Amino acid sequence: MLWHDDKQLSWNNIVSLHEQHYDLLIIWTAPLVLGFFGSFIGKTSLLLKDKMTSLEQRTLQLNTILETAASAIITIDKSGAILSFNRAAEQIFGYRLVEIIGTNVSRLMPMDIAAHHDGYLRRYIDTQQETFIGKRNEVNAQRKNGEIFPVLLRINPMKIDDDLFFSGVIDDISETKSLQAQLIQAQKLEAIGQLASGVAHEINTPMQYIGDNLSALTSNFNDLIAFQSHLHEIADETFKSKLKALIDDHDLQFIMEDSPKALKEALEGVARVSEIVEAMNTFSHVETNQAKQTVNLHE
């Protein structure tokens, strides 16, 4: 440009040239502006990269927590479609992630509950009344193989970008329920044992005097048999004929033969009941200190 204006290269001519052509200032300052802007963009990019790295780490940590959680964690949208299904949920329900994502969550419920689930969901969306949501509830769930099992369920709503979602935390309590049933059964058996001990004690007292009375009756009947025998010996022929007629009329011969057998069987029955009572006492007896005891397994 100096050559075109037939001027020599000097500081004065250069300053004059810039005063006449402001575009030269833009050309000279452009690299500075671009350098400053590039530096700003570079620093901004580094900050964004750091934030993205931090976000990726937090996302990885969150996913790791979700995948290693012992409870099944499931998220659904407001239509009931499953959006996430962690590893514990796969193990509990038997579904793989690829076959359950996008399907309705009622697939994990028994038919009687599944039929009403969408209605519950719509009612909450319309009324926002937390009759079931936000509380721990014990309900039945259904595995892939059709098995119905008890679970402890807590559902919480969450809003993301003004859209409504629901997260459910589910724990399989089948083993807990089984242990509870065993405990209840053990308590029943303990109550039966206490009842058996009380019944045995109450039975034992009347059986003792029944046995004593039967023994006394046996002894008395033996005396009657001896008396009849002696009566025959001392009676004359006339009295013997009358005595025989009386014996025949009252079937005394059968009574004398059958009654001892009946008394013997009754005493055997009393002895058997006494053995059962003793067995009940032995079986239901527990030391109060609950320490280990030596017992006879046959008994």
27 with 51, same domain?
yes
Whether residue 5 lies inside any domain: the answer is no
Over residues 221-245, mean pLDDT: 80
Total tally of structural domains belonging to the chain: 3
Q: Is residue 290 part of a domain?
A: no
**pLDDT grade for 4, boundaries at 50, 70 and 90:** confident
Report the chain's mean pLDDT, rounded to a whole number. 83
Does 275 map to a domain?
yes
- Let me know whether 136 and 151 are in one domain: yes
Cβ contacts of 152 within 8 Å, gap of 6 or more: 136, 137, 138, 170, 171, 173
Residue 293 lies in a domain: no
SS (H, E, C) 127-180: HCCCCCCCCEEEEEEECCCCCEEEEEEEEEEEEECCEEEEEEEEEECHHHHHHH
Tokens for 180, please give them: 């509870």
pLDDT on residue 101: 92
**Do 225 and 196 reside in the same domain of the chain?**
yes
Q: Give the domain range for residue 224.
A: 178-284
Stated as kind and residue range, the H or E segment containing 83 is: strand 82-85
The predicted structure's pLDDT at residue 143 = 92
Do residues 117 and 162 both lie within one domain? yes
* Rounded distance between C-alpha atoms, residue 126 and residue 80, angstroms: 15
* Burial bucket for residue 43 (CB in 10 Å: 0-12, 13-18, 19+): exposed
Helix (H, G, I), strand (E, B) or coil at 75: strand
- Do residues 218 and 130 both lie within one domain? no
Residues 277 and 191 occupy one common structural domain: yes
- Residue 4 maps to a domain: no
DSSP three-state, residue 81? strand
Q: Is residue 186 part of a domain?
A: yes
> What is the secondary structure of 200-239 as a DSSP string?
HHHHHHHHHHHHHHHHHHHHHHHHHHHHHHHHHHH--HHH
Residue 148 has pLDDT above 90, yes or no: yes
Q: What is the pLDDT of residue 192?
A: 80
Tell me the mean pLDDT in the region 2-29: 77
Cross-strand bridge partners of residue 138: 152
Kind and range of the H or E run holding 184: helix 174-234
| Domain annotation covers residue 6 | no
93 shares a domain with 52: no
Q: Which of 120, 155, 172 is the last residue of a domain?
A: 172
Sequence letter at residue 260 = P
166 domain residue, yes or no: yes
CATH assignment at residue 93:
3.30.450.20
Q: Is the pLDDT of residue 299 over 80?
A: no
CA dist., res. 281 & res. 277, Å (int): 6
Whether 167 and 88 map to the same domain: the answer is yes
| pLDDT at position 49 | 86
Of 155, 172, 189, the last residue of a domain is: 172
Task: Give yes or no: residues 183 and 278 share one domain.
Answer: yes
> Could you say which of 124, 150, 172 is where a domain stops?
172
pLDDT of residue 251: 79
Based on the fold, state whether residues 205 and 243 are members of the same structural domain. Answer: yes
Task: Kindly state whether residues 92 and 166 are assigned to the same domain.
Answer: yes
The reported pLDDT for the residue numbered 96 is: 92
Closest CA to 164 of 77, 106, 85, 79: 77
Q: In this predicted model, which residue has the larger pLDDT, 82 or 60?
A: 82
Kindly state whether residues 82 and 157 are assigned to the same domain.
yes
